[in-house]
Amino acid sequence: MENKVRIQDNLYEAVNGEWLKNAVIPDDRPTTGGFAVLDEEVEKLLMNDFDLFSKGELATDIKEMDYAISLYKKVLDEKRRNEEGIKPALPLLEKIQGIKTIADLNKLAKDFLLHNIDLPFNMGVDVDMKDATKYSFIILGPGIILPDTQYYKDEATYNQLIGIYSQMAMNALAKCPLTEEDKQKYLADTLAYDKLIANSVKSQLEWADYVNNYNPMPLEEVCEMVKPFDFKGLLSSLFDKVPETIIVYDPRAIKEFNLYFNETNLELFKHWLYVKELLGASQALSIELASNATLFRRALMGVAKEPTLQKQAYQVASRYFSEPIGYYYGKKYFGEEAKKDVVNLVKKIIETYKDRMRKNTFLEEATKEKAILKLSTIEIKMGYPDSIREFYSTLVVNEEDNYFDAVSKLNVLKVKENLDRLYQKVDRSEWVMPGHMVNACYNPSSNDITFPAAILQKPFYSIHQSVYENLGGIGAVIGHEISHAFDNNGAHFDENGNIANWWSEKDFQAFKELTNDMIKQWDGIPFHGSQVNGELVVSENIADNGGMAVTIAIMHTLENPDFQAYFKNWARVWCLKAKEEYIQLLLKNDVHSPAELRANIQVRNFDEWYEAFDVKETDQMFIAKDKRIVIW
């Protein structure tokens, strides 16, 4: 007992330490614990069902599941995939090689866009942030090889990661009908072009402030910026009515377009595109090529092995048919009793949140009323949707198609479905997460919260857990998602999901000061040889803080509340064992704080933590009262 960690010194370690010592991270995953364990269990369950479906030993009346099973079988068809090798992708690669001028690319632009093949900038249709009832056409810069622009500024890290990427690319290029000299040149040009792009695109920190994505520009102005690419010609080929306004998500990348795309560097672009599409296509080619194409991603996350072929087949089917599979999972495995219980808990949390808003000390009455209106109009999406969108019935997988052709056709259908939305009304009943996903979210554009069926399990929730444990688990997660409506991003959206200023200047300034306090509380915390970036993770920390505040308030309404059970389950939810490479990846790129710190830091902001475990000034889990932050 002498060696046991005291809960007053490290809540996370005291609750999870023994489990963490013995936990083994699966070879094909970067993590285990909390969310990951549930995800593994759901995956095993559905993989077993898919295996039975494929053998004809299990049936379903959900027609869209039949298409998912057809795709699943194509992934498993090793013989055909290996016999065909790289051949299915050669027509695409030859088409890219045939580009001699920008005029050639302009002629191919529509076909490339529909087939999800990269163009000099990315584009699509998304909900308009200032009018969430409609869609707008959006553009942003091209994607870079490394996870973030900051990697390009660290020579040692850059060389290490690009070395792995280069080996992967050369392994794939070895299968192509190119000379050895061309293979080397294609790779060198790819890396050179990637560096050009990285100078202009947003960093992960910039993307974290997503309200700044909304930059409407007249079409003609955008067309001038992206010349000689024929943007207007592309839009005219896609739509009867060309949009007059374009929402530019990454203005710097578009304004600096000619720095990385022009007649002079067209060959760089072409070779970059060739390598990028070769690696992208490899997933649906031979087993050897598909395995090779995972090397870079696995190195980033510290994953030793790729998943079994059966697991890959399930994951591909799940990626293309997420909604039908989530619907199937919810119908078969989700209890209505649990759904009813959690919906009631959500309603209770919302009402408690309203009460806390009324008692808020830094908001004026008019701002409070707007915040309460926003809370009153939050829509709850619990478990899984009532039906599958009609779109999925169009995703027919033809029996005669090989794996590559099947996914190529599915990509076209998915891109078309996105583009066809442009002049449609936004359907707010649509779910952004499928029922079998172990996660939850708040959508600022529709002011709704989604809790897929798969997360409504222990340790997050169980009808067999105490109410105190459920409040520390799913209750705090629910409060977290609701709090996103009032984080540094969500605060800019009104109850209808539109960017709107519903704050007084004085109130918003007070909120910004509290936000800055939260940034300072987290910024620079040492973790695994690196540091937390307080600005990158602030939105999620505000949400954690709000989720804990509102559920602690509910705890006080209960008879003899067990705060020890509450805080212990809060720590249990964030239990995580991860590969070191993955920890470093998250520290640089993830808007969420490290799980261990989420468990240990937030609790210190609340007096109930100190009372529950008699935490004193001499304990490591103590912070002075004047340093404690509660925003909502």
Catalytic positions are 481, 544
Instruction: In whole angstroms, give the CA distance from residue 285 to residue 81.
Output: 6
Sequence-distant (6+) residues with CB within 8 A of 490 are 442, 444, 484, 539
Q: Which two tokens stand for residue 21?
A: 């010592």
Alpha-helical regions (H) of 77-130: 78-84, 90-97, 102-114
Q: What are the distances in angstroms from CA 527 to CA 587, 593, 596, 597?
A: 9, 10, 10, 9
Backbone phi, then psi, for 441, in 5-degree steps? -160, 160
Q: Residue 549 has what DSSP assignment?
A: H
Query: To which H or E segment does residue 245 belong?
Result: strand 245-248
Instruction: In whole angstroms, give the CA distance from residue 339 to residue 171.
Output: 49
Instruction: In whole angstroms, give the CA distance from residue 318 to residue 312.
Output: 10
Answer yes or no: are the C-beta atoms of 569 and 472 closer than 8 Å. yes
Amino acid identity, position 344: N
How many other CB atoms are there within 10 angstroms of residue 116's CB atom?
A: 15
The dihedral sign for the CA sequence 524, 525, 529, 530: negative
Answer yes or no: are the C-beta atoms of 158 and 177 closer than 8 Å. no
Maximum CA pair distance of the chain? 77
Bridge partners (DSSP) of residue 137 are: 125, 246
Backbone phi, then psi, for 555, in 5-degree steps? -55, -40
Give the length of the chain: 632
- CA distance between the termini of the chain: 39
Answer yes or no: are the C-beta atoms of 60 and 476 closer than 8 Å. no
Instruction: In whole angstroms, give the CA distance from residue 325 to residue 428.
Output: 21
Instruction: In whole angstroms, give the CA distance from residue 314 to residue 43.
Output: 8
> Nearest to residue 343, comparing CAs of 387, 386, 384, 382?
382
Rg (CA), the chain: 25
The dihedral sign for the CA sequence 491, 492, 494, 500: positive
Sequence-distant (6+) residues with CB within 8 A of 488 are 209, 515, 538, 539, 542
Instruction: In whole angstroms, give the CA distance from residue 85 to residue 288.
Output: 8
Q: Which residue carries 């490591």 as its tokens?
A: 620
Backbone phi, then psi, for 32, in 5-degree steps? -145, 165
